[in-house]
Chain A
């Protein structure tokens, strides 16, 4: 038997070997099956979406901050949606909805895990490519299709979907409910179905590749934490997106075929609808069965990336590797069990709600373990404040600030007061929005030299970091205060209420900061594209002196990643400052004198 085994081992590395003889522009840049190119496609598409989604937030923040001012240029940009330079309420809701949809799905799901899972998994586990490069390519193109459909929905006569990114029926199920619910909603649903197919194809590939394609010696406990995080992200996606898929299909039926899955007892303009017996709460259950894991689909890659970067740039092993993996696993499992904590005020059974409170608060435990381990990794480290490192530390900071308010919201008694206020907005923007953006930016700064063979400009990066972190806190910190005072979400104009008049100045201030922070993101985009062509060239194969396998590949790896044999792995990913050596890459064999560890 063992002879059979050896023969097959020799074979595993030769599978995807050297099949890139005559690459045309199309096969190299468009329908590429190279995981590195697909990753860059995801990244660039994600950045474009981030600019669009960010711009939307600037526009609706203008309305919130300056409700009495008109901006004539808005009419040039949005046409009849901003006639006379004043944003229409219908389009305000469309902007909020699209901002959420774009950032949550297109930027922080596809853009974040699409980019880094594709780029890092094969390189860090020592594989020539994904298990199925073909499906990987299809994954991007389904995402592209979803993007096109969503983008097209911005231009339909009645406007894009405007029922909130959670598309709760009946608002999303009835064309009469709002202008965005006419055609825009159908575009949204079809786009999301394409997106789910894309994420499924990607996720299947990521899981299978991580489990089956690791190089010799790369045991599960030697995997870099990025790979672990991406594995759990993919598991979350593969098991929870189908539930949204079902929910979306049923919603499409309700919209177009006259079924009553979610509709019951509805009167519109004095007319009683024939729909009977459906349950709107059911949709919320189905939505949040995806929706909550989705939060971790967004957050886990950022956690993995930060863990890796913090360890590398503290020149210390990650503190408590197994605890980090265990807490990732715990978060992944709990993510499936807590969905209804988004629904405490919907009319769900309150006793069931209390079970969800218990499960929800359990998440605090693994999250706290992770935070503790990041801080102890930094503790007395020989810290290098590279831009990637700064953004990783920023991630930890934001994760703590946002996570703490999660404990408030997870408690159903407090949630009755805080639900649908700016407190919620502040919470999830900090903990999963901005924090994950920080993780993504950290990853881009850290792996940019590997991706493009050039460095990004550090000065611009430092400006980017400091303005963004200070700006993020200035934007979202005051929102806690507004939310505790009862200021609700999703209002077009607060100036009509006496109780919220006192926040006019604060809202103006927040909008002002939003514009500055958005401008600085454009600086990053400039830095990104400028450095891609004009940045300082990478001359050192391992510029961050990192242990993981991607830095053993050539500066410009071809399709197949390593020109010769795939390196074999002899040690864990985090052996920094050990035995007087600053770092020991994973492919260095264990010496005889070496102290045992990891």
Chain B
């Protein structure tokens, strides 16, 4: 590791060098990600605040229980686990790309970048399916004494508390903010995945063109990697906040 070779008496803060032993570009990327963490943090915390302020919240196991081509089978958490694993796996391929970059192995970088991009696209496709399923879903809701059929949208939440109506249990409208937060936050995360894919494609092209070999280092891949891992990191928390608890 890099830390082993560094003398302990190095005067890091005395100027003329980076106190972090890291290039300015990477430092900036880290600070940007911290800033972005506060954006996501604010979203998730305000989601938590609203959830704490209402008596009832939609149970994720009921909302997210569908799987493509599985018809009406009740499979709670299954699809989102698939999405989580896709993202973890694309994170691994990304870190392998960075690793190949350290070894100045252009072919290896290319291979793993392609895999990472595919992982990102797969995740986005899953998200597109999940959104479509939620929005076009059709759920019986008791509104003003009449049964209506709602999908889950930013302004409609069919996952409210159950009541008895004409001898059957039927849902009432739930807090509207549920859909808003779900689509808002996963959408903002999806936007990050999308821009991450774009960045990765640019990096792939630059690798292909041999730009990094000319520069003598693959630091751009590392910076793109930091961004990509951050997207994965955010997903870990989105997964927690929307699907698990």
A residues contacting B by CB (< 8 A) are 1, 5, 8-9, 12, 125-126, 131-132, 135, 200, 203-205, 207-209, 211-220, 222, 238-243, 245-247, 249-250, 253, 257-261, 274-279, 282, 285-286, 289, 569
Contact = CB atoms under 8 A, between A and B. Distances in A.
Contacts of B15: 125-126, 214-219, 222, 569
A218 B17 CA distance: 10
Nearest to A244: B42
B99 to A, nearest CB: 23
A240 to B, nearest CB: 7
Nearest to A254: B180
B39 A243 contact: yes
Nearest to A130: B24
B81 interface: no
A432 to B, nearest CB: 23
Contacts of A12: 16-17
B49 to A, nearest CB: 5
Report which residue of A217, A258, A275 has the largest number of chain B beta carbons within 10 angstroms of its beta carbon: A258
B19 A211 contact: yes
B85 interface: no
Contact of B176 (A241, A260, A282): A260
Given A200-B35, A250-B46, A260 B17 contact: no
Nearest to A13: B16
Nearest to B175: A277
Interface string B172-198: 010111011100100010000000000
A217 B13 CA distance: 9
B38 A9 contact: no
Contacts of A215: 15-16
Report which residue of A132, A239, A277 has the largest number of chain B beta carbons within 10 angstroms of its beta carbon: A277
B69 interface: no
B38 A243 contact: yes
Report which residue of B6, B17, B25 has the largest number of chain A beta carbons within 10 angstroms of its beta carbon: B17
Given A131-B28, A212-B19, A204 B39 contact: no
Contacts of B7: 1
B105 interface: no
A214 B34 contact: no
A217 B176 contact: no
6 contacts: A204-B32, A207-B31, A239-B34, A253-B184, A259-B184, A261-B180
A261 B39 contact: no
Nearest to A289: B42
Given A245-B39, A279-B53, A253 B154 contact: yes
Contacts of A261: 46, 50, 177, 180-181
A243 B42 contact: yes
B38 A274 contact: no
A592 B11 CA distance: 23
Nearest to B157: A277
B70 interface: no
Nearest to B14: A219
B14 to A, nearest CB: 4
B28 A208 contact: yes
Given A204-B35, A257-B155, A212 B18 contact: yes
Contact of B35 (A8, A214, A242): A242
A531 B1 CA distance: 58
Report which residue of B20, B35, B43, B54 has the largest number of chain A beta carbons within 10 angstroms of its beta carbon: B35
A278 B49 contact: no
B36 interface: yes
B27 interface: yes
Nearest to A245: B39
Contact of A277 (B25, B34, B50): B50
Nearest to B54: A277
B245 interface: no
B180 A253 contact: yes
B5 interface: yes
Contacts of B19: 211-212
Contact of A9 (B17, B20, B49): B17
Nearest to A209: B24
Given A243-B39, A276-B176, 15 more contacts: A131-B24, A204-B31, A208-B27, A211-B19, A215-B15, A216-B15, A216-B16, A219-B13, A242-B42, A259-B179, A261-B50, A279-B53, A282-B46, A282-B50, A285-B46
